Amino acid sequence: MEFKFTAEDEAFRGELRAFMKAELPDTWEGAGRYPEEDDWDLNQVIRQKMAEKGWLTMHWPEEYGGQNASPVKSAIYNEEIAYMRAPGRDIFGVRMLGPTLMIHGTEEQKKTHLTPVAKGEVQWCQGYSEPESGSDLASLSTRAIRDGDDLVINGAKVWTTMAHRADWIMLLTRTDPDAPKHRGISFVLVDMKTPGVSVRPIINMAGGHEFNQVTFDNVRVPRANVVGEEDRGWYVAVTLLDFERSGIDYSASARRLLDDTREFATETKRNGQPIMEIPWVRTLMADRYIDCEVARLMAYNVAYMQSQDLIPTKEASMSKVFGSETVQRVTEASLDILGMFGTLNRQEKWAPLKGRVQEHWMNAFAGTIAAGTSEIQRNIIAGRGLGLPRG
């Protein structure tokens, strides 16, 4: 096959780059996947401007405020935003909740929640993982008791990204404790301003604040906020996970860091010789660029399959595993090339690339855990891809 983008796709890529160049400050270096505290206002401004252009939800059907754009065009959008480390995207509302509601939501739920997401007016977060329930998600213990037309929720969620900024949370809670563990679970939409909801920040080892623990203490939620059938939320949750696992962000962010490292190594001398001319550095850089391109093509293959109405379950898992592990290999390689100075953080005046490499290296560990660990993904590849029996 001849792999290339259409003229329309290339024109869109150019338009998006020009838009970001005009909107971002000249000194912008980017916060990465999630905006930092100081970037939140800019994030909201750019998000709403992208919503006005229809970019935020361009892959949605037109009836829900989208442009019915192809998955490949959507992947281009995500790739460029990730590479530029630009703010404005809405991963939780646009990529996860919206498509899930279109499949499982009631007309009233769609009417209430899709329009604010499409306009960039609301921030969502995802309440899946719990202190004692991570990869074995179905073992969750957050409990909801029926009380007339309401559910009363008690429990806790952890590693909840952007909960401190969120207006709403989509969460899984057990509504039938006597059912088998994959049954008796409901998928519920909860207003974060509801009495009894509290958020405690979790600062990661890179000093960033994107994670939180969210506690529910007798939180009363209308049963009308259950998406799909009560006690059958596991099937809704799995639908959302299919939308969550996308590999293009991994390859784009890894390639940007590699480009930054290459520029540094070209301009910086060690023992009178540009670092980039050292043979082992050139070999290492070449290997990592190959990894980035393979990860990129795997992600675009997933988008292509989606454009052909195919379900890339194993392919998405393959892309997620390889992409997230590529980020780890790239950050490690960049640290090796920068040497001991590369371990300095952004507060140190001698830190090359303003300490970005060591921050990326620390953050990269989460990539093979979030959205399903590499072990979980390999199980999916083995079972659904290779037809291997369960161990």
Q: 82 and 248 in contact (C-beta within 8 Å)?
A: yes
Q: 79 and 17 in contact (C-beta within 8 Å)?
A: no
Cα separation, 96 vs 139, whole angstroms: 22
Name the token pair of 344: 């300095």
Cα separation, 244 vs 92, whole angstroms: 8
Buried b (16+ CB within 10 A) or exposed e, 218-252: ebebebebbbbebebbbebbebbbbbbbbbbbbbb
How distant is the alpha carbon of residue 106 from its chain centre? 26
In the annotation, is 277 catalytic? no
CA count, 13 A, side-chain hemisphere, 222: 4
Rounded to the nearest 10°, the torsion over CA 6, 71, 331, 322 is: -110
Compute CA distances 286 → 99, 289, 292, whole Å.
Answer: 38, 5, 10
Residue among 130, 244, 315, 359 flagged as catalytic: 244
Cα separation, 8 vs 6, whole angstroms: 5
Q: Which residues pair with 155 in a beta bridge?
A: 216
Concatenating the DSSP letter of every residue in 190-257 gives EETTSTTEEEEEEE-TTS-EEEEEEEEEEEEEEGGGEESSTTBHHHHHHHHHHHH--SHHHHHHHHHH
Q: Strands, E, within 44-174: which ranges? A: 124-127, 143-147, 150-157, 168-174
Q: Which residue, among 230, 236, 137, 105, has the nearest Cα to 175 in the 3D structure? A: 230
Which residues are annotated as catalytic?
244
